[in-house]
């Protein structure tokens, strides 16, 4: 009997807690900051809505650097690449040391296949930080877009020694070696890929064909 | 050299100084190029051979803007030893601007071209030529294909005005290691009182294959081309070509090898075979040509 009473009491407590949480959620939805709304809308896939909630932060003289970075990202997600480029450049004007703005710029430029320009910004980040991983991977993508396999080979090789546990540099190294006619070298690199990512489709396919 | 030629020459020389200012700016690329060709006429009643040399200067601002200058000097010798060689000077400039359009998901290319020709042609028919051309092109972001339209107006001061509409369609295949380009020429001279001047149409097909690096010749790409139909007074602004020749071009076949090095050197070697007809004297002949081009990107 006592057990049943405790159980009923426990259920009541849980139900009460749930009601309190619901009430809290409802009140939060009406008092969310534009930033919070923006992140929630982005998570739901409403990128246009996510960008528009921050419009007051960019549409004035006191515009915020973070709002421009968000606009750059959200325009990129919508496929508005020119707006994305302009937003990232506005963020850069606010902070000339910004690596985020430079790395952000590479995204819409790469989407437009403007490899040389994207490579320039990735290179700037590398010049400022030396071994920034994201900048290197994007520079690799640009060099691949330009079919500059010699550069892909050199860069990827260096990156595998700096970030030995990462899979992506090994994939680029394997591709470059293959394109440069070094099939054995490519196979060695793809084996390294499979150590890090055993289900990697590209490495598995290459192994099946070449071995 | 007339005043117009002097102006074109001065413009070309002053443009040659631009690299000094642009090389310091990392967004700009400058390419200097020298090319020469020699052709021998086979079966011609009038012509013997020809030789030409040219210098090109190209400035690129990333993928967005392009400015090209080109100057060329050529000589044509005749079978009749009493005929004076034809000497010809040409100057050309081309500006290109690319709009990156999100609404069309691709690149819009706008181009403007000018080409002027001065020579000592005794008939004066091919002398004092001004060509203006404007072009529009589109390619999607992934550059799997490209469509283009160009209108050229050639003003032959002592002969006729010639209108040319050129349509191009090119597409990539084999993971973009191959490109096939089709270029259709619709040429219409304005003067209709001269028997040799008729509307002409031609189709040119060019195939370029990029060779995988590490090949034994160290090649970057190979090119094959063929042209059928008839061309007269044709303009190809991509290669600074103005065919200021009254004779009709019947067919053409060409092949080229291209090399590129990591430090910016570009070299091309090629040959072509072209059949011509001089309709006035019913003279059918061909031109067998070899060319070399050496360039350096700074």
Give the mean pLDDT of A179-200: 94
Residue pair B159/B191 in contact (Cβ under 8 Å)? The answer is yes
User: Would you call B22 exposed, middle or buried from its count of C-beta atoms within 10 A (0-12, 13-18, 19+)?
Assistant: middle
Query: What mean pLDDT, rounded, does chain A reach?
Result: 86
Give the dihedral sign, CA B215/B221/B227/B233.
Answer: negative
Q: Which residues of A touch B209 (CB under 8 A)?
A: none
pLDDT over 70 at B194, yes or no: no
Residue of B nearest to A80 (CA): B102
Interface check for A197 against chain B (CB to CB < 8 A): the answer is no
Residue A56 pLDDT: 85
Residue B13 pLDDT: 53
Interface check for B99 against chain A (CB to CB < 8 A): the answer is no
Interchain contact, B62 vs A150, CB within 8 Å: no
Residue A19 pLDDT: 47
Range with top average pLDDT, A6-10, A29-33, B184-188: B184-188
Confidence of residue A22 (pLDDT cuts 50, 70, 90): very low
- CA B129 – CA B55 distance, rounded (Å): 20
* Closest residue by Cα to residue B294 from B24, B27, B36, B13: B36
Residue B207 pLDDT: 98
Question: A98 to chain B nearest CA, in Å?
Answer: 20
Is residue B204 helix, strand or coil?
A: strand
Confidence of residue B15 (pLDDT cuts 50, 70, 90): low
Give the mean pLDDT of B247-254: 95
Confidence of residue B245 (pLDDT cuts 50, 70, 90): confident
- CA A71 – CA A25 distance, rounded (Å): 27
pLDDT over 60 at B202, yes or no: yes
Q: Looking at the DSSP assignment, which residues form a beta bridge with residue B54? A: B35, B72
Give Cβ neighbours of residue B72 (< 8 Å, ≥ 6 apart). B52, B53, B54, B55, B88, B89, B90, B91, B92, B240
Residue B125 pLDDT: 84
Q: Count of CB contacts below 8 A, A vs B?
A: 43
Among the partner-chain residues B63, B213, B262, the one whose CB lies closest to the CB of A179 is B213
Give the dihedral sign, CA A199/A202/A205/A210.
Answer: negative
pLDDT over 60 at B181, yes or no: yes
Residue of A nearest to B29 (CA): A116
Residue B193 pLDDT: 63
Among the partner-chain residues A114, A150, A181, the one whose CB lies closest to the CB of B63 is A114
φ, ψ dihedrals at B19, nearest 5°: -55, -30
Place of tokens 């060709």: B37
Give the mean pLDDT of B250-278: 94
Confidence of residue B28 (pLDDT cuts 50, 70, 90): confident
Residue B3 pLDDT: 59
- Best B28, B100, B177 member to test A by mutation, with max A CBs in 10 Å, is B100
Chain centroid offset of residue B93 CA:
12
Question: B44 to chain A nearest CA, in Å?
Answer: 45
């Amino acid at each position: 009997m006592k057990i049943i009473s405790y159980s009923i009491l426990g259920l009541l407590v849980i139900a009460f807690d749930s009601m309190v949480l619901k009430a809290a959620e409802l009140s939060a939805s009406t008092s969310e900051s534009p930033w919070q709304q923006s992140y929630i809308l982005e998570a739901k896939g409403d990128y246009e809505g996510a960008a528009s909630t921050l419009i007051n932060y960019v549409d004035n003289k006191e515009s915020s650097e973070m709002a421009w970075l968000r606009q750059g990202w959200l325009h990129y997600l919508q496929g508005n690449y020119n707006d994305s480029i302009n937003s990232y450049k506005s963020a850069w004007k606010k902070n000339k040391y910004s690596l985020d703005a430079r790395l952000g710029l590479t995204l819409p430029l790469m989407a437009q296949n403007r490899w040389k320009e994207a490579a320039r910004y990735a290179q700037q980040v590398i010049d400022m930080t030396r071994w920034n991983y994201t900048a290197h991977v994007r520079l690799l993508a640009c060099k691949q877009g330009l079919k500059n396999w010699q550069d892909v080979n050199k860069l990827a090789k260096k990156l595998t020694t700096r970030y030995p546990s990462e899979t992506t540099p090994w994939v680029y190294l394997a591709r470059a070696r293959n394109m440069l006619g070094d099939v054995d070298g490519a196979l060695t690199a793809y084996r390294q890929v499979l150590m890090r990512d055993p289900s990697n489709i590209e490495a598995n396919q290459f192994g099946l064909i070449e071995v | 050299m007339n005043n117009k030629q002097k102006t074109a020459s001065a413009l070309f020389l002053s443009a040659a100084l631009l690299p000094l200012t642009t090389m310091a700016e990392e967004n700009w690329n400058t390419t200097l190029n020298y090319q020469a060709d020699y052709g021998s006429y086979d079966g011609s009643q009038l012509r013997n051979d020809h030789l030409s040399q040219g210098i090109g200067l190209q400035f690129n601002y990333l993928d967005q803007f392009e400015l090209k200058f080109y100057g060329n000097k050529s000589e044509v010798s005749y079978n009749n030893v009493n005929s004076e060689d034809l000497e010809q000077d040409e100057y050309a400039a081309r500006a290109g601007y690319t709009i990156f359009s999100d609404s069309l998901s691709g690149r819009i290319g706008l181009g403007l071209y000018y080409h002027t020709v001065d020579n000592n042609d005794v008939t004066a028919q091919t002398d004092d030529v001004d060509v203006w051309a404007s072009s529009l092109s589109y390619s999607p972001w992934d550059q799997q294909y490209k469509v283009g339209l160009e209108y050229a107006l050639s003003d032959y001061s002592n002969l006729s005005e010639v209108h040319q509409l050129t349509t191009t369609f090119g597409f990539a295949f084999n993971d973009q290691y191959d490109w096939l380009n089709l270029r259709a020429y619709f040429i219409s001279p304005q003067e209709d009182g001269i028997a040799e001047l008729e509307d002409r149409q031609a189709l040119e097909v060019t195939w370029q294959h990029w060779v995988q690096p590490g090949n034994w010749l160290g090649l970057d790409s190979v090119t094959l081309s063929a042209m059928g139909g008839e061309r007269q007074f044709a303009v190809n602004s991509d290669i600074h070509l103005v065919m200021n020749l009254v004779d009709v071009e019947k067919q053409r076949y060409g092949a080229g090898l291209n090399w590129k090095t990591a430090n910016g050197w570009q070299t091309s070697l090629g040959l072509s075979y072209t059949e011509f007809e001089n309709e006035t004297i019913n003279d059918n002949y061909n031109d067998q040509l070899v060319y070399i081009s050496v360039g350096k990107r700074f």
